[in-house]
Structure 1
Amino acid sequence: MVGFSLSQQTVASVKRLITSFLQTLEKGLTRANQPIVRGFWHLRHPTLRGAAWACAGIPVLLVLYVLIQIPLTPSIGDIRKAKIEQPAQILSADGKLLTEFKPSNREWVKLKDISPNVVNALIATEDHRFYQHFGLDWRRTASAALHTFSGDRQGGSTITQQLARNLYPDEIGRAPTLTRKIKEAITAFKIEALYTKDEILETYLNTVPFLYNAYGIEMAARTYFDKSAGDLNVLESATLIGMLKGNSYYNPVLNPERALQRRNTVLAQMVKYGKLTPAASATLARRPLRIDFERQTEPPGPAPHFAQQLRKWLAAWADRNDYNMYSDGLVVRTTIDSRLQTMATQAVTLQGNQLQGLANSAWGTRAGCANGRDLLQTFLRETPDYRAAKDAGLTDDDAMKRVSADRDLVKSVCESKTRVQADFLAMDPRNGQIKAWVGSRDFSQDPFDHVQQARRQPGSTFKPFVYAAAFEDGAKPSDTFIDKPVEIPLAGGEVWRPSDEDEPSERAISLRDGLAYSRNRITAQLMETVGPNKVARLARAMGVRDSELDPVPSLALGTSPVTLKEMVSAYGTIANLGGYVEPVMVTRIEDRNGEVLADFEPASPKQELPAAAARTLVDVMRDVVSRGTGSSIRSRFGVRGDVAGKTGTTQGNADGWFILIQPQLVAGAWVGFNDSRVTLRSDYWGQGAHSALPIVGDFFQRAQRSKLVDSRVKFATDEEPGWFAERSGRLREWFQHLFAASPAKTEAPVVTRNSTRHAPAVATAPASAASAAAASSATAADVEPRALPPQPPLLQAPASAVAPANRAVDGEVHGNGEPALAPTPTPDDVLSPDAGGGAASSFPSGPASAPGSASP
């Protein structure tokens, strides 16, 4: 430090300047304000009386300052609320506790359940006159002030003052200022006036922090000694109380020597104030510091990802309505069904574990990704360790050798990258209530919520929006397109060439079969007809409202990333026959006494897709699970009743999807890896029909067996006939009865799910395989390689053979019978390649005798 001194001549010059300034100011104010002049004169010429008044004014000013601070401290109501703090309770729709929203990792215990050793150590060390003062220990405060003024800073806060600071850090502050000490003292007086000494001790010990997100003595005991607060012995109690002087400085995990020294200081204080004998203290002080450390985590509860999203929503609601979700005892009744949630979690865990075994074998995970060395090196180049090696001046080869030699790093990177992820969501399409939400396989290992936050390409699960747009424009399921090579020009001169696993058959394929067997070339031609902009607008209206949809032709095959929540919401619109209902998480909020604070009634459905188009789409999607790519829902999992759905798989099998709709419940699942460059490396297990479908199938199977989903409920896809149609039908029945067809001309109808269709003689046979990668300049398209069963021969039946009970809907004949599964057809049943109608640039309708294939 550089020092300097002023000469006497300089000091005298400064004094003359100041005197001259005051004299000039005094002369200028003489005419304006004589009292001010007199005040300046008294300041320059103080009298004994003036000095006495000045000294007397200092305490008055101090009192006034204290009075000003009182309104700035917590109110009596706030202090009462802190003592009876009640976190928000989150309940399921069936009344089960899902979780509590606590401000920290804390468990409140009564004072009688805390070891007396803790209380003795606390009072002896922090406030030995605790039972004699009323919030402020004047002797200790004065002593601390004298030591502080002399350069030896000491703390003089009582336990009550520390409690005030712990409970209200924002109102009181932590800066070492006079204002903070005054606020602290005022709040301490208020606390002492409201509560007994035991209540103050109990609150203090339950709110004091102990590092590692452990608040309160109970969590501290579990964290550092793996026992309850009631079982702490003298040494353990002294260790924890010793930390209160400085948690980090006396941390027994990182600074054991300091913690041991501080522990012995606490033992000495206990001897000083009669809480421990000198002999016992001497014996205990020689013992080592024994720590059994384990971080404590809050129990995740049965629906942790749902609770994670609900906490954000409730915090915003509480702020708007002036409630505290941590202390006001709110009771939040959610839409989650705890039974369905358990089933969903079990289904995700079971399938996830099975797929993880396949992934471990495919990648050689136990050997550090031995089967994927090239990609592993790419992953290692993305680690901080590699970047640090490069920053140190190493070449690429040397840096790679260094990180590759770190076995722990290689193992960690390999395991994290090849960990299979899965998510699941179920909601009631009628009111938007979310019934089950599983955001990952294990919340403790991967708290990232894939349902709400992860955006992945949906593949073929996006195709129903293309068909919905077509049906809205008047297309029929029997309309056909030729299975031929497709080339669609894109902006910039590129050409999109979607493909399927098999070569183009040049056959006419109906829209019904195109969706049932997930035909890329048929869907691409349909997209070209309806237009990408219309499909994007319709998908947004139906529920895909947060993700950006790129209105390009390849959107038909699901190239724009979306979330599972959006897709399930949009499929809910399909299940609700075109009526969109926004997903909801909460039905009601009550206070601690059961008084209703807010009711959240289901919103009225908004018709985003015409009901007629929605009915047609549901009927076509039934074929996906009755004979198409999702047929194992019935054959393997035995899901009964009126259900429909769609599978989805993206290029390289990076994403597997399946969504199933039922009138009461819509459920969807996604399976993949956090890094889309990693796949299951299996053309079979990578498909959505084999990765994601089993999760939904297992869930629905359990739900139906438990009677939580009624398998007897059906979609209202049969339109009620009008007056003219009803009378025409009666007239037709009379003619049929009068002129009954001969047995030779009567043929048995082909029975499908929920319908009886009489197929014409000439119809479309589906191609023998389904989707493969869309080889184009666009991003990944849906690819679902599979061996499809051949179609049975379609029989032509005259109009006179139609059963009287059937009603015409969209040009097809539907019955109300329970779906029946036909025997698997033989290869000889396949129609010749020239069967079916030709393609057209608009919605082509085949001849009256060839409306397309019917369900087997």
Structure 2
Amino acid sequence: MKRPNVPAVREFLQQQWLRCKPLAARGWHHVRHPTRRGAALAAAAVPALFLLYVLLLIPFTPSISDIRKAKVEQPAQILSADGKLLAEFKPTHREWVALSDISPHVVNALIATEDHRFYEHHGLDWKRTASAAVHTFSGDRQGGSTITQQLARNLYPDEIGRAPTLTRKLKEAITAFKIEALYTKREILETYLNTVPFLYNAYGIEMAARTYFDKSADELDVVEAATLIGMLKGNSYYNPVINPERAVERRNIVLAQMAKRGVLDEARVRTLQRRPLRIDFERQTEPPGPAPHFAQQLRKWLIGWADRHNYNIYADGLVVRTTIDARLQAMATQALNRQGNQLQSIADAAWSPRNGWRENPALVQAFVRETPEYRAERDAGQTPEAAMKHLLADSQFMQNLRQTKTRVQAGFLALDPRTGEIRAWVGSRDFTQDPFDHVQQARRQPGSTFKPFVYGAAFVKGAKPDDTLLDQPVEIPLAGGEVWRPTDDTPPSNKPMTLRDGLAYSRNSITAQLMQTVGPSRVVGLARAMGVRDSKLEAVPSLALGTSPVSLREMVSAYGTIANEGRYHTPLMVTRIEDPHGNVLAEFAPSAPERALSAEDDYTLLSVMREVVNRGTGSLIRSRFGIRADVAGKTGTTQDNADGWFILIHPQLVAGAWVGFNDSRVTLRSDYWGQGAHSALPIVGDFFSRSLRARIVDPNEKFQAPDASHWYDGWFTRSRDWVVGLFASKPAPPPKPAPKRVAPPPDTPASAASESEVTAPIFGASDVNAPAPDSGVAAPWPVPVSPYPSDAPGSSEAPAYTPAPPISPAPSISPAPSMPPAPASDDTRPNS
């Protein structure tokens, strides 16, 4: 790069200064020796510039329409598909109450303390503002905001801000004037008292009264009202819970102000000031609603939609109609909680202080090092050893840590495979304790629930369910000279096994060999096409056993592709958005189906997955829950029983569950309960059995085999018949009537009829009493008793279960004669 010519630049700047020097000299002369006209112009310029600055700020303050909406809270209402309220999207945790439902002591205390000329000004108290400015310039800062100005700050903290600058004060004043022009004084008071914060996630006077005094706002007495109004000067500083002395002092000042303004008698005030502070504190928690995790995901999407279409989800009264079925959502929540509580008792025993917790000291110390308490000890100067010793000796800390780490978690999702509409969504056992969503946010290894993608890719490539592979030890070389050796719970039989049996009994050795034949890239491509589109999939051989973490939502939507004849639908949450008057603002139809598998290959995969629940690792669906509908599915368990999965598909509904712990280093420590067939399957089985009994899902609906005929078949048949008819010979004349038969002698058997009396069967037809080839008619299985007493036939809680007619699954292929019996409890874990 060429360096600049420094002398030339310096000479240029000197020339410019010589040109400007006379102008600067004249300007400085006018400043030192002003004329009357110049002084007048200068004096007029200051307010003119100030007014211009104010005018420039007006567009940066809240609009008239926004201010109109603020005085009437109209949060978006989220409704289920059957019209039940799921959630309301409020900006804060508050309950709006009318001014008539607020104790008059609150209003009197507010006006007497914060703005005693409230009914006299129009948003700005000029006397108070001037007084505050004088005190501020003299070094004693004072506030001069009116109630209307404070309301402006509370309603629009982002647009106005709280910085102590002239710009902020001007924005606040402009907004206050707008509010005064649009609101009556009563509306200002009502809006202010419903929007002011009171700590502990309590907004508005109603939530404050419940939080600090366990009563409604209309029941507050004068002392309680003064206590709450006193907090407005500084919520934390005058917090009656942690700073009771300051709160009493501030309360008494408020009472004195009420006496000064003539609201209270001075003698009564002196009596009230001697009262002790009686606080009945209880945090107010917002009800999570029947589908809290679904509502949280929907809120994120709705905010974006509202911003793009110029709506406010907190003030415009939007009505959002979702795809959730309230009945199925309740069934899913109950099933997950029931199974979660049972597994929690097992986890508590396995990780009690005398068992698993004491047997894993290295893991427990790792948990301690990850806590904020340990980091605080280290920041305070403690050595690692001293910090660890101190925390391990803290029994309360260790108990809380153990309960947090060993709390069983679960996720559940159900959707309609025909449209992708989500019917039930449960993200955790308890939203208030664990708001983390295990359906959308969590990424966990899917284990053997990933195997259908391997088998599906093999069927696409031409494999058949009855093809066999040798059940033998497998060694697969990897990059870097490593060797992957997948194993099963039972030793290999070294005998041929069909692909149908390999998936039904979830044999890792068979799946690993199949992965070698198909190739990891093909499996990744198919999984992506079927619905696993957000998580990263490693195209390595161990992917066959589900080693790449995925979300439950992806897996259930991918299984929905199997249930929908190989066509994928994007999961759908919302069907319609309306305004408060019922006018439709937007409608959302299911996405266009995307073909991931041909109908023939998809039905082949489906028929093999039927065997999982008919006689394989998912057979508890039949034997324990008595589900006789046409269903298919797959279990999944990851290494060391860290994750349990089960997904079940039906023509009208697909449901899947995951069970585990937030920290994958924690497991149920049980080879039985840790399996997906015993941890996740009962959730899905309970849910499906109830939905079938309630007839929300049709138990008689069946998967339809694809039509093997083609569009040209009919044309070909008609053309053939025309050609045959064209060259056919003339029909022969009708035969003469046969002579009348004579009955055989009595000793002649009836079966000994003459050959002329035997009618030849029509070509292609079969005996109506004999089963058609490949009909798939299965023998009916016994219906077990429901595991829950209230669901037994004749119970008052649920209708008696009526067995469905036998289904028509794909033909069952028996295992090879030499194959040892495989365990039907659950699939085995990958050995990656």
TM score, norm. by length of structure 2 = 0.84
Identity %: 70
State the 1:335 CA deviation. Answer: 0.9
1:28 equivalenced with 2:16 (yes/no): no
1:450 equivalenced with 2:452 (yes/no): no
1:191 equivalenced with 2:175 (yes/no): no
The residue correspondences of 1:220-235 to structure 2 (distance < 5 A) are 220-235=208-223
1:638 equivalenced with 2:626 (yes/no): yes
Q: Structure 1 636/284 Cα, relative in aligned 2: closer, same or farther at 3 Å? A: same
Q: Write the letter of the residue equivalent to 2:468.
A: T
Q: Structure 1 758/224 Cα, relative in aligned 2: closer, same or farther at 3 Å? A: closer
| Equivalent residues of 2:635, 2:827 under 8 A apart | no
Q: Structure 1 558/368 Cα, relative in aligned 2: closer, same or farther at 3 Å? A: closer
Deviation per CA, 1:507-539: give whole Å up to 9, x if none.
Answer: 211111111111111111111111111111111
State the 1:172 CA deviation. Answer: 2.7
1:544 equivalenced with 2:567 (yes/no): no
Q: Structure 1 761/51 Cα, relative in aligned 2: closer, same or farther at 3 Å? A: closer
1:339 equivalenced with 2:327 (yes/no): yes
1:734 equivalenced with 2:795 (yes/no): no
Partner of 2:756: none
| Equivalent residues of 1:136, 1:158 under 8 A apart | yes
Q: Write the letter of the residue equivalent to 1:664.
A: Q
Q: Write the letter of the residue equivalent to 1:400.
A: M
- Corresponding residue to 2:244 among 245, 253, 256: 256
State the 1:622 CA deviation. Answer: 0.8
Deviation per CA, 1:233-290: give whole Å up to 9, x if none.
Answer: 1111111111111222222222222111111000000000111111211111111222
The residue correspondences of 1:418-429 to structure 2 (distance < 5 A) are 418-429=406-417
Separation of aligned partners in 1, 2:227 and 2:768:
98
State the 1:381 CA deviation. Answer: 3.4
Separation of aligned partners in 2, 1:92 and 1:741:
48
State the 1:149 CA deviation. Answer: 2.8
State the 1:737 CA deviation. Answer: 7.5
Partner of 2:424: 436
Q: Write the letter of the residue equivalent to 1:167.
A: L
State the 1:693 CA deviation. Answer: 0.3
State the 1:42 CA deviation. Answer: 4.0
Q: Structure 1 69/117 Cα, relative in aligned 2: closer, same or farther at 3 Å? A: same
Q: Greater CA deviation, 254-263 or 661-670?
A: 254-263
1:498 equivalenced with 2:486 (yes/no): yes
Q: Structure 1 386/51 Cα, relative in aligned 2: closer, same or farther at 3 Å? A: closer
Q: Structure 1 732/749 Cα, relative in aligned 2: closer, same or farther at 3 Å? A: farther
Partner of 1:511: 499
1:716 equivalenced with 2:770 (yes/no): no
Q: The residue matched to 2:390 in structure 1 has which SS? A: helix
Partner of 1:86: 74
Separation of aligned partners in 1, 2:760 and 2:106:
92
Separation of aligned partners in 2, 1:79 and 1:750:
68
| Equivalent residues of 2:505, 2:827 under 8 A apart | no
Q: Greater CA deviation, 189-198 or 371-380?
A: 371-380
Q: Write the letter of the residue equivalent to 2:34.
A: P
Separation of aligned partners in 2, 1:598 and 1:162:
37
TM score, norm. by length of structure 1 = 0.82
Separation of aligned partners in 1, 2:203 and 2:612:
54
Partner of 1:814: none
Partner of 2:669: 681
| Equivalent residues of 1:516, 1:628 under 8 A apart | yes
| Equivalent residues of 1:497, 1:774 under 8 A apart | no
State the 1:301 CA deviation. Answer: 0.7
- Corresponding residue to 2:400 among 399, 412, 419: 412
Q: Greater CA deviation, 53-62 or 535-544?
A: 53-62
Deviation per CA, 1:159-205: give whole Å up to 9, x if none.
Answer: 11211222222333323333333332222222222221111100111
| Equivalent residues of 1:360, 1:366 under 8 A apart | no
State the 1:685 CA deviation. Answer: 0.9
| Equivalent residues of 1:489, 1:496 under 8 A apart | yes
Partner of 2:640: 652
Q: The residue matched to 1:369 in structure 2 has which SS? A: helix
Q: Write the letter of the residue equivalent to 1:258.
A: R
State the 1:227 CA deviation. Answer: 1.5
Paired residues in the alignment total: 742
Separation of aligned partners in 2, 1:735 and 1:749:
23
Separation of aligned partners in 2, 1:357 and 1:155:
58
Separation of aligned partners in 1, 2:301 and 2:114:
41
Partner of 2:348: 360
Deviation per CA, 1:285-330: give whole Å up to 9, x if none.
Answer: 1112222222222211111111111111111112222222122221
Partner of 2:231: 243
| Equivalent residues of 1:589, 1:598 under 8 A apart | yes
Separation of aligned partners in 2, 1:66 and 1:473:
73
State the 1:98 CA deviation. Answer: 0.7
Separation of aligned partners in 1, 2:702 and 2:766:
34
Partner of 1:769: 823
Deviation per CA, 1:519-568: give whole Å up to 9, x if none.
Answer: 11111111111111111111111111111111111111111111111100
Deviation per CA, 1:67-94: give whole Å up to 9, x if none.
Answer: 4433333232221122234111111111
Q: The residue matched to 2:412 in structure 1 has which SS? A: strand
| Equivalent residues of 1:510, 1:764 under 8 A apart | no
Give me the CA root mean square deviation: 3.0
Consecutive unaligned residues of structure 2, counting only runs of 5 or more, are: 1-16, 721-758, 771-775, 781-806
Deviation per CA, 1:330-364: give whole Å up to 9, x if none.
Answer: 11111111111111000000000000001111111
| Equivalent residues of 1:423, 1:450 under 8 A apart | yes
Partner of 1:121: 109
1:474 equivalenced with 2:462 (yes/no): yes
| Equivalent residues of 1:497, 1:775 under 8 A apart | no
State the 1:661 CA deviation. Answer: 0.1
Q: Structure 1 38/327 Cα, relative in aligned 2: closer, same or farther at 3 Å? A: same
State the 1:454 CA deviation. Answer: 1.1
Partner of 1:164: 152
Q: Write the letter of the residue equivalent to 1:206.
A: N
Q: Greater CA deviation, 570-579 or 515-524?
A: 515-524
Q: Structure 1 733/343 Cα, relative in aligned 2: closer, same or farther at 3 Å? A: farther
Partner of 1:274: 262
Consecutive unaligned residues of structure 1, counting only runs of 5 or more, are: 1-22, 30-35, 743-747, 779-856
Deviation per CA, 1:45-73: give whole Å up to 9, x if none.
Answer: 23456545544554444444434433333
Separation of aligned partners in 1, 2:379 and 2:610:
59
The residue correspondences of 1:297-312 to structure 2 (distance < 5 A) are 297-312=285-300
Q: Structure 1 450/290 Cα, relative in aligned 2: closer, same or farther at 3 Å? A: same
Q: The residue matched to 2:233 in structure 1 has which SS? A: coil
Separation of aligned partners in 2, 1:551 and 1:624:
26
Separation of aligned partners in 2, 1:349 and 1:281:
54
| Equivalent residues of 2:446, 2:548 under 8 A apart | yes
Q: Write the letter of the residue equivalent to 2:808.
A: N
1:141 equivalenced with 2:141 (yes/no): no
| Equivalent residues of 1:451, 1:564 under 8 A apart | yes
1:575 equivalenced with 2:563 (yes/no): yes
Q: Greater CA deviation, 361-370 or 448-457?
A: 361-370
Deviation per CA, 1:378-398: give whole Å up to 9, x if none.
Answer: 322333444555566766654
State the 1:613 CA deviation. Answer: 0.5
Q: The residue matched to 1:424 in structure 2 has which SS? A: strand
Q: Write the letter of the residue equivalent to 1:28.
A: P
1:326 equivalenced with 2:314 (yes/no): yes
Q: Structure 1 756/644 Cα, relative in aligned 2: closer, same or farther at 3 Å? A: closer
Q: Greater CA deviation, 163-172 or 620-629?
A: 163-172
Partner of 2:746: none
Q: Structure 1 390/82 Cα, relative in aligned 2: closer, same or farther at 3 Å? A: closer
- Corresponding residue to 2:658 among 643, 648, 670: 670
| Equivalent residues of 1:163, 1:204 under 8 A apart | yes
Partner of 2:751: none
1:528 equivalenced with 2:507 (yes/no): no
1:381 equivalenced with 2:409 (yes/no): no
1:180 equivalenced with 2:168 (yes/no): yes
Q: The residue matched to 1:697 in structure 2 has which SS? A: helix
